[in-house]
């Protein structure tokens, strides 16, 4: 497939409408579990309100919906057929609202606690990333976390040269500096960015966590218990 970002919205919609059958043959895998584990590590709780961008047929959505059983999920995708399939596939996910959108003009009645971008940024033209991050900031509150997961750019480069048939209609190599420049310009700051290995060595995926940029606060003194633990660890473990 063409790995450039020159495709029209209609071409992208059509591609992912046709991608439904391929997605439906893949169930929950290590990638989905890795994203859920990261969300748990970042404090996701049962009452949280979550926005998922690029939900596809809802495989990860179903896991998020269980994690926020007393909260809600808005699951978005550019493909109408994907959303229709997801609604039929997950009828018991009653706390999920399924929505067709390319996110550029997305609005919400209330801000979200978590925004999840699961292997979707590489499929959204980089030229649209500034507007995308602005849109995400507009539906965030001061404590919102943005969690993104995507292929390591070296892996995408290798696939482009050796396995181009595996690439999707838009499949970009994402550079950390460009991603962060767009995120910071929209009003986010970086909490975490890492490369890690899921299926292939040394690294086949990257992920980051953003928070909303807030006015600088003075340092907070640790509690006596936390100071005790810190001093004990330093004393015995260096």
CA 237/CA 205 separation, integer angstroms: 32
Q: How many domains does the chain have?
A: 1
Is 64 a member of any domain?
yes
What CATH number does residue 97 fall under?
A: 3.40.50.150
Is 3 a member of any domain?
no
Q: Identify whether the C-beta of residue 65 lies closer than 8 Å to the C-beta of residue 36.
A: no
| pLDDT tens, the chain, 238 aa long | 444 567 899 999 999 999 999 999 888 999 999 999 999 999 999 999 999 999 999 999 999 999 999 999 999 999 999 999 999 999 999 999 999 999 988 999 999 999 999 999 999 999 999 999 999 999 999 999 999 999 999 999 999 999 999 999 999 999 999 999 999 999 999 999 999 999 998 999 999 999 999 887 766 666 777 777 777 776 676 5
Question: Model's pTM, two decimal places?
Answer: 0.89
Is 4 a member of any domain?
no
Is 1 a member of any domain?
no
Q: Identify whether the C-beta of residue 115 lies closer than 8 Å to the C-beta of residue 139.
A: yes
Residue-range definition of the domain harbouring residue 183: 9-237
């Amino acid at each position: 497939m063409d790995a450039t970002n020159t495709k029209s919205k209609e071409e992208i919609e059509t591609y992912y409408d046709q991608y439904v059958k391929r997605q439906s043959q893949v169930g929950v895998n290590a990638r989905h579990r890795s994203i859920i584990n990261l969300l748990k590590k970042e404090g996701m709780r049962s009452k949280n309100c979550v926005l998922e961008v690029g939900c596809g047929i809802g495989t990860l959505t179903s896991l998020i919906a269980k994690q926020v059983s007393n909260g809600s999920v808005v699951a978005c995708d550019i493909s109408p057929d994907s959303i229709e399939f997801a609604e039929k596939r997950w009828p018991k996910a009653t706390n999920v609202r399924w929505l067709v959108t390319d996110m550029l003009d997305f609005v919400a009645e209330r801000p979200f606690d978590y925004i999840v971008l699961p292997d979707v940024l590489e499929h959204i033209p980089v030229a649209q990333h500034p507007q995308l991050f602005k849109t995400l900031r507009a539906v965030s509150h001061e404590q919102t976390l943005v969690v993104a997961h995507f292929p390591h750019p070296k892996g995408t480069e290798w696939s482009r040269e050796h396995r181009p048939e595996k690439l999707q209609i838009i499949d970009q190599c994402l550079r950390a500096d460009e991603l962060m420049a767009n995120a910071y310009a929209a009003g986010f700051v970086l909490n975490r960015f890492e490369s890690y290995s899921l299926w292939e060595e040394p690294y086949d995926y990257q992920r980051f966590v953003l928070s909303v940029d807030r006015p600088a606060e003075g340092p907070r003194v640790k509690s006596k218990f936390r100071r005790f633990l810190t001093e004990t660890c330093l004393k015995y473990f260096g």
